[in-house]
Amino acid sequence: MNDVPFYTITPIEGCDEAIGRWLAALEDARFRTIAAIKEASPLDLDGAPAVGRNTIGTILQHIAGTELIWGYQRVRGTVVPDELSADFPTLDLDENGLLYHPTGLSLDDYQRRLQVARDHLVDILKPMSVETFRAPFRCVAEFGTFDATPEAVINHLIQHESEHRAQLTMLALGPAN
């Protein structure tokens, strides 16, 4: 990947161009997230934040888990494959209803998990026809039942990652001096 953000959208190949453009935008969001935390130390990943309870590692795990939840459980209507259980023993919330917080992982470990989740999401979306991509489906989630489209799911995931990137940036910078 380049060292600068994308300022053009070049569709991801191997799918309909409209889907490829959305996937490229999703990749741009990830590029910016990785850039925001590239200097994070192991202490930064697990260290107690000055505000809130979520560490950099917790948020990175949450971003990856959210992509798997949306891709498998909501878009496909299936369970997340067992092969992912080692990296994602819980996809989002722990037994106390808090974001799952792995500890002792390196930045490379988190980046690999982010990539694995992204690869699975892309594998779900890439083969779709543009008609399927834009067709509403009934989505059942813990917060309600609603209609969604895979296209809107990508928009949601871009927003989700961008909003958490603001948290990550704040955590990576540490308290103001």
Listing DSSP states for 47-105 in one string gives SPPSSSS--HHHHHHHHHHHHHIIIIIIII-SPPPGGGTTT-SSSSB-TTSSBP---S-
pLDDT of residue 177: 36
CB atoms within 10 A of CB 1: 9
What's the half-sphere exposure (Cβ side, CA atoms, 13 Å) at 109? 16
Domains and CATH numbers, the chain: 17-172 (1.20.120.450)
Which among 25, 26, 121 has a CA at the least distance from the CA of 73?
121
CA distance 130 to 119: 19
How would you write the pLDDT of the chain (177 residues) with one tens digit per residue? Answer: 456 555 788 999 999 999 999 999 999 999 999 999 988 888 889 888 877 889 999 999 999 999 999 999 999 999 999 999 889 888 777 777 788 888 899 999 999 999 999 999 999 999 999 999 999 999 988 888 999 999 999 999 999 999 999 999 888 776 543
CA distance 91 to 108: 19
CB atoms within 10 A of CB 124: 19
Tokens of 21: 């453009």
